Amino acid sequence: MAKYIFVTGGVTSSLGKGIFAASLAKLLQARGFRVTIQKFDPYINVDPGTLNPYEHGECYVTEDGAETDLDLGHYERFLNVPTSQANNVTTGRVYQHVINKEREGAYLGKTVQVIPHITDEIKRRMLLLGQTGNFDIVITEIGGTVGDIEAQPYVETVRQIVWEQGHENAMVCHLTLLPYLKAAKELKTKPTQHSVKELQMYGLQPDILVCRTEMPLTQDIRRKLALFCNVNIEAVIQASDVDTIYDVPLEMQNEKLDVTVLNKLQLPTNNVCQLDTWKTFVDHLKNPTETVTIGLVGKYIELQDAYKSIYESFIHAGVSNRCKVIVKNIHSESLTKENAAEELQGLDGVLVAPGFGSRGIEGKIEAIRYVRENGIPFFGICLGMQMAVIEWARNVLGWADAHSVEMDEHTTHPVIDMMAEQKKITAKGGTMRLGAYRCAIEKGTLAEKIYGKAEVSERHRHRYEFNNAYFNDFENSGLKASGKNPESNLVEIVEIPTHPFFIGVQFHPELKSTVESPQPIFVAFIKAALEKKKATHLIASATA
């Protein structure tokens, strides 16, 4: 039988519940337990797929094609184990299920209510992964903050599960903030006391208090928190601000979080915590021997969370190359033909980001023209790949109005077109080409050199596609399709063999990069950027 750990948050949002959950999972996995993490989000959208990145950051896509919260990205990056549709549940999905059942007549004349019908459905989903036999421990993160109206059914369900499963099988970690008051030179515990009281009001007692703090916790503070909040002193865990999220598992290990959790769940603590690979990763991350500067061209760059997986993939690929990757964010709307050279000069590589809609499109095309003409390593993801195709069509093939039908329905050269199966779809939620698809790699191409394989699988999230009606025009003029879906023949990868490093992919490789397994295109891109930087320096010193 699986054991359950619930992670709640108090005082404020953005305390890093996702990173904490992933770090705890990492420690338990490092001790040999099979662990998964799931997130329950209290909003009413059925999934975050229809949310603008400004609302909720990046939408993370799983192997099985679920559009999910970006915290699932952290789970996968930390654990190196794929998540699935079952790992992210929203209030919208829960209600949709219950309402559909009611329409089918499943409740046989009963009044359908939050308790027990909604909480039963939440419970069914909270216990689901634990019942598969695939996991020893299931960690469930509850989105939002305790006290939010919409979080109440979740907190109530956790109370029921702890009661039904027993305290040795289900426990609660409560993440909270200890504000530091400069004037008083003191960490304050009152907000934490209040948020624990709030939990207790719902009949839930936290077993562990994880305290986000700018200052170290003194023994006095720990004692005070333990006393006021009904927890053991060793269950008061300090979570200080750290340089990188990859430090958090190590910090939690220093606080003996894993031992405290295992003791509480009556699980053995005698197996060693195998974190050597992780420690080497963090060591390399903190001690790079080189640096490269990559331009990230996108329209959501003011928001850190919008390209989360891309930033993290750069970190993984940087570590693989023993190199610090400095990302220069470039707003696609600010790029024009006139300023592209000035804005992009000095960059060792350029990544053009995914996206939807026409805002900033022309800037992306100008960025691609500049890097293509100047031999700067280029990596285009999804919309970034589509823009590379359009740039080639316009500036090499001379089709001035070439476009994607997403932006211009009436173009005479729809080089990016809507996929046939998409044409009949009108609903927006969950209807894109989503999740993992196979990609056969052409022999002798850059893609083959990067992957070293004849076939790969990568995740997708798009409606539009390279238009195969123009396939020969592109191939004959020098833009090659080096990866295709073996069933549908859809073009998945394009490249320019005469360019030092120019690759565009229709899929989202950033969704598969993890600490243990950095994504190969990112690794090769950073390597190419390093080579470009060294070559530029050589030329500069030779001409000096």
Contact residues for ligand GLN, defined by CB under 6 A = 354-356, 382-383, 406, 461-464
Question: CB-hemisphere CA count at 13 Å for 260?
Answer: 21
Closest to ligand GLN by CB, 73 or 355:
355
Q: Please, what is the minimum distance in Å from the beta carbon of residue 354 to ligand GLN?
A: 3
Q: Kindly give the residue spans of alpha helices, DSSP state H, lying in 63-138.
A: 71-79, 91-104, 119-128
Residue 316: name the closest of 354, 284, 349, 348 by CA. 284
Q: Which of 121, 382, 462, 495 is catalytic?
A: 382
The string of DSSP codes covering 207-246 is SEEEEEESSPPPHHHHHHHHHHHT--GGGEEEEE--SSGG
Q: Which of 174, 316, 499, 508 is catalytic?
A: 508
Burial string for 124-159 (b: 16+ CB within 10 Å, else e) reads ebbbebbeeeebbbbbbbbbbbbbeeebbbbbbbbb
**3-state SS, residue 510:** helix
Based on the residue annotation, tell me whether 382 is a catalytic residue of this protein.
yes
Are the CB atoms for 58 and 308 separated by under 8 Å? Answer: yes
Q: Please, what is the minimum distance in Å from the beta carbon of residue 463 to ligand GLN?
A: 4
- Write out the two tokens for 418: 């809507």
Q: Please, what is the minimum distance in Å from the beta carbon of residue 79 to ligand GLN?
A: 25
Closest to ligand GLN by CB, 125 or 462:
462
Q: Please, what is the minimum distance in Å from the beta carbon of residue 416 to ligand GLN?
A: 7
Closest to ligand GLN by CB, 59 or 79:
59
Q: In what order do the strands lie in the sheet with 480-484?
A: 323-331, 290-298, 349-352, 378-381, 502-505, 491-495, 480-484, 433-441, 455-462
Closest to ligand GLN by CB, 316 or 462:
462
Q: For the chain, give the number of residues.
A: 544
Are the CB atoms for 50 and 40 separated by under 8 Å? Answer: no
Nearest-angstrom CA–CA distance, 441 and 341: 33
Q: Kindly give the residue spans of alpha helices, DSSP state H, lying in 129-177.
A: 152-165
Amino acid sitting at position 126: M
Closest to ligand GLN by CB, 369 or 461:
461
487 secondary structure, DSSP code:
T
Residue with tokens 């927006």: 428
Closest to ligand GLN by CB, 464 or 470:
464
Q: Please, what is the minimum distance in Å from the beta carbon of residue 284 to ligand GLN?
A: 31
Closest to ligand GLN by CB, 95 or 356:
356
42 preceded by a cis bond (ω within 30 of 0): no
Closest to ligand GLN by CB, 92 or 355:
355
Q: Please, what is the minimum distance in Å from the beta carbon of residue 473 to ligand GLN?
A: 20
Residue 122's alpha-carbon distances to 41, 298, 299, in angstroms, are 11, 37, 36
The string of DSSP codes covering 378-443 is EEEETHHHHHHHHHHHHHTS--TT-EETTT-TT-S-EEEEE-GGGTT----TT-SEEEEEEEEEPT
Closest to ligand GLN by CB, 379 or 464:
464
Based on the residue annotation, tell me whether 510 is a catalytic residue of this protein.
yes
Q: Please, what is the minimum distance in Å from the beta carbon of residue 433 to ligand GLN?
A: 8
**3-state SS, residue 182:** coil
Q: Please, what is the minimum distance in Å from the beta carbon of residue 356 to ligand GLN?
A: 4
Closest to ligand GLN by CB, 263 or 422:
422
Residue with tokens 């999230």: 461
Q: Give the distance, in angstroms, between the CA of residue 139 and the centroid of all CA atoms in the same chain.
A: 17
Are the CB atoms for 2 and 138 separated by under 8 Å? Answer: yes
Q: Please, what is the minimum distance in Å from the beta carbon of residue 406 to ligand GLN?
A: 5
Q: Please, what is the minimum distance in Å from the beta carbon of residue 388 to ligand GLN?
A: 12
Are the CB atoms for 511 and 443 separated by under 8 Å? Answer: no
Catalytically active residues are 382, 508, 510
